[in-house]
Structure 1
Amino acid sequence: MPLPVFSDHRKGLLLTTIGGLALSMDIPLVRLAHGDMWSILGARSITTVAVTLVVICFIRTVKGTWPMLVPGKYGLAAGLLYGCSTLTFVLAVFNTATANVVFIVAFNPMFGALLSWMFLKERPSLSTLATMAVMVFGVGLIVHDGLSSGHVFGDAMALLSAFILASAITVGRASRRDMGFVPLLATALPAILGFANAFPAGLAIEHPAWIVLNGALLMPIAFWCLATGPRYLSAAEVGMFYLLETILAPIWIWLIFAETPPTMTLIGGAILVCAIMAHSLWMVRGQPVQQSLAH
């Protein structure tokens, strides 16, 4: 029936929009905390795990049953991927410019389209393939600028983060199961890794309140919404809502820290943003919702 499908699609759009907005504040709050990388990773992750456990116990008390936490082998695979993406993302934040991170991570939907094509037989349209080519050019400009400025490791981690995240979304799409709690519980992995590296010297965070706010509120909202989105949207569509972080995070950084990205990064980022926005509009106008959910 057309109406229920459309309603599910709108639900997916709403969830992923909320998730993308919450995610856009991640880097600014990490920067505001002014801490050591491993301390930030551990504190950000452990607060997310703690809040998740509280929510799970609350649901158990109210409903009398435990919610779906890790749905089988798909949940385990997605959890491992989400945990690794958190690590690579934080490594990118501490080793390259903020604009580089968010613009390169915006390559996520294109990775999602390729992975869906390979493993889910969701063949991308000609417009998607053309958008990929344009985005490769845009990312190339940013990475080339990173090479000249010595940020090659951070840029590589951002690109790896985009790929791992797209892989996790694709796994969630393939399972058609509720993955809402998977990325939240998966933060236990970077929490362990962060504390293991931070504790010999002790935690070093000047303003822990910012990182607690990030890990306890914004990250649970972002992770849950973006992990639930693939139940209603394709992996490529969900990935495109990470564009909200791409657009907004550099704005927050500019307003808070007066940090202006390099010219080449702005040019490459503008190419990425325009390419993804044009592709999104084309998908909305040219493809019925049923087609994106029929696979």
Structure 2
Amino acid sequence: MSRSPEPSIQQIRVAFLITALGGLLFTFDLPLLRLSMAEQWTMVFTRGIFLFYAITLGWAFSRAARGDRTPYLAGMAGLAVAFTSTIGNMSYIGAVVHTDAANVVFIIALTPVIAAAMSRMILRETVHAYTWIATIAAFIGAGIIASEGLRTGNWVGDGLALVSAFCSATIFTIIRATGKKVATSLALGSLSSALFALLFFQVSPMALMAPGAFGVQAWLWLALNGLVTIPLATVLLARGPRVLPSADVSMFFMLETVLTPIWIWVLFAEVPSARVLLGGAIVVLTLLCHSWWRLARTVRAAHALQPGA
């Protein structure tokens, strides 16, 4: 597979910024769902449909207004991402059902480790020792967060969570390898998740008209989630691996593990424990230090290549 030209310093900086923003937006996923107070599988179905339509409409608008000729499915890369995303979403849903939530969070935190290994084995990218150290440190921080509620869960659910983490790492690696725009492929994965919920679990459309938190109807919270927040986060994170190594991009997903408990604390007065705060501090500090190191390293390398340097 062809690789894109080496990115400039400015492209690296922008990529880190948009990837961090995408990871931050993802931290509002669970709070918005909780604010809707809707039934679990109704939320999964509704969000999946909203996300599919939001990204699809964005793609159609970009083609009509800006002349963007990006195809809905970017060849084999798009098909691979759509297929992998479908499996990942379905596995995640199954994991949530069949095992404890703490188990799911802890296993999903393996995504950066898997992504780093795939970058090394498949793309033959050199993974710097500092990246491995940062990945392990972030993994330890996520483990501290999950450890308080961690217990032995059903092995089927744990296996499905591992499949979901593997799928996320695979998607990052595909984008990194091809440089293709595949956000619409992720939309197809969301649609498949919605259809899965509709076919195999109870979905109650009438529940969407019931008032959620602060007297706002449930569907409005879910629309904010599925039409605005998550589509934007998906698009931003899908752009990251086109410039950054997939292992680096996947680390920003850990922000959800860290910040979501804080939003829940603010909105629902569920105070996170000292252990959660400690683990969160480790992950955030690791991400900041690692991002600063990569930017500084890139700038030094670019300056060394300049004539007369």
SS at match of 1:109: helix
Where does residue 228 of structure 1 map in the other structure? 239
Structure showing greater radius of gyration is 2
Q: CA deviation at 1:116?
A: 0.5
Contact 1:139/1:268 (CA < 8 Å) preserved in 2? yes
Q: Residues 68-98 of structure 1, C-alpha deviation per residue, up to 9 Å, x if partnerless?
A: 222111111112222333344455667645x
* TM-score (structure 1 length as normaliser): 0.81
Where does residue 184 of structure 1 map in the other structure? 187
Q: CA deviation at 1:50?
A: 1.6
Contact 1:5/1:290 (CA < 8 Å) preserved in 2? no
Matching residue within 243, 248, 256 for 2:259: 248
Matching residue within 177, 180, 204 for 1:174: 177
Where does residue 9 of structure 2 map in the other structure? 6
Show the 5 A alignment for 1:149-164. 158-164=161-167
In 2, the alpha carbon distance for the partners of 1:275 and 1:251 equals 18
In 2, the alpha carbon distance for the partners of 1:201 and 1:45 equals 15
Show the 5 A alignment for 1:62-211. 62-63=65-66, 66-90=69-93, 96-97=100-101, 105-138=108-141, 141=144, 145-148=148-151, 158-198=161-201, 204-205=207-208, 206=210, 207-211=218-222
Contact 1:33/1:211 (CA < 8 Å) preserved in 2? yes
Q: CA deviation at 1:103?
A: 6.3
- Cα distance, 1:126–1:46 mapped onto 2, change above 3 Å: same
The AA in structure 1 aligned to 2:242 is R
Contact 1:45/1:215 (CA < 8 Å) preserved in 2? yes
Computed over aligned residues only, the root mean square deviation of the Cα atoms, in angstroms, reads: 3.4
The AA in structure 1 aligned to 2:196 is L
In 1, the alpha carbon distance for the partners of 2:262 and 2:140 equals 23
The AA in structure 1 aligned to 2:267 is I
Contact 2:41/2:202 (CA < 8 Å) preserved in 1? no
SS at match of 2:127: coil
Contact 2:9/2:298 (CA < 8 Å) preserved in 1? no
Where does residue 54 of structure 2 map in the other structure? 51
Where does residue 306 of structure 2 map in the other structure? none
Where does residue 37 of structure 2 map in the other structure? 34
In 1, the alpha carbon distance for the partners of 2:203 and 2:224 equals 25
- Percent identity, aligned pairs only, is 34
Contact 1:38/1:198 (CA < 8 Å) preserved in 2? yes
- Cα distance, 1:263–1:178 mapped onto 2, change above 3 Å: same
- Cα distance, 1:79–1:289 mapped onto 2, change above 3 Å: farther
How many residues get paired? 289
* TM-score (structure 2 length as normaliser): 0.77
Q: CA deviation at 1:237?
A: 2.0
Mark the runs of 5 or more structure 2 residues left unpaired by the alignment: 211-217, 303-309
SS at match of 2:41: helix
Question: Does residue 23 in structure 1 map to residue 26 in structure 2?
Answer: yes
Contact 1:143/1:152 (CA < 8 Å) preserved in 2? no
- Cα distance, 1:256–1:144 mapped onto 2, change above 3 Å: closer
Q: CA deviation at 1:267?
A: 4.7
- Cα distance, 1:146–1:167 mapped onto 2, change above 3 Å: farther
The AA in structure 1 aligned to 2:268 is F
- Cα distance, 1:64–1:145 mapped onto 2, change above 3 Å: closer
